[in-house]
Amino acid sequence: MSKFTEEKVDEANLCPGKSRAFGAKMWDEPHPIGRYRHKRCWSCGADLGCTRCSGLLRELLCMGHGSDRNELKHGGLGPVWATVAALVEHGPLRGFNQTVDSYPPAFASMYRATELTGGTR
Ligand SMILES: [Zn+2]
Ligand SMILES: [Zn+2]
């Protein structure tokens, strides 16, 4: 899609295309928001785009602001699941020495709650 589309789009409904979510598409290409505009990363505050460029809530992995600074941005955690839905779906990232307590208390308790009830796995 061209940057200079003739189609009139309401600015408020545009996703800026700056998502730091893993596998984000349409980088630097503002586009109409998909089904849902994601909240910013709980840890580094990076934009996570929308369902259209960055995928589903439960697949949102935040890469921070570039691989070299990633560790810093996430307090040494490496990439982090950016939403509680993603944490519940996948659990903490083992390869990065994360535990459920690396995440905000609200995330952690939600994760534990689904674990107890058998969860989504
Ligand atoms: Zn982040
Ligand atoms: Zn988007």
Spell out the long-range contacts of 44-49 with Cβ–Cβ below 8 A and sequence spacing 24 or more.
Answer: 44/20, 44/73, 44/74, 46/19, 46/20, 46/73, 47/16, 47/18, 47/19, 47/20, 48/19, 48/20, 48/21, 48/24, 48/82, 49/15, 49/16, 49/17, 49/18, 49/19, 49/21, 49/24
pLDDT for 6 beyond 80: no
Tens digit of each residue's pLDDT (9 = 90 or more) over 18-67? 999 999 999 999 999 999 999 999 999 999 999 999 999 999 999 876 55
With 90 as the cut, is the pLDDT of residue 78 above it? Answer: no
Q: Give residue 20 CA to ligand 1 midpoint distance, Å.
A: 7
Q: What is the CA radius of gyration of the chain?
A: 16
Q: What is the pLDDT of residue 41?
A: 94
Answer whether residue 119 shows pLDDT above 90. Answer: no
Higher pLDDT, 105 or 64: 105
**Ligand in nearest proximity to the CA of 72:** 1
Confidence category of residue 95, pLDDT binned at 50, 70, 90: confident
- Residue 31 CA to ligand 2 centre (angstroms): 6
**Using an 8 Å Cβ cutoff, are 51 and 32 in contact?**
no
Ligand nearest to the CA of 38: 2
Q: Mean pLDDT over all residues of the chain?
A: 85
Which residue would you say has higher pLDDT here, 44 or 7?
A: 44
Confidence band for 11, pLDDT divided at 50, 70 and 90: low
pTM, two decimals, is 0.80
pLDDT of 69 reads 55
| Phi, psi values for residue 10, rounded to 5° | -65, 120
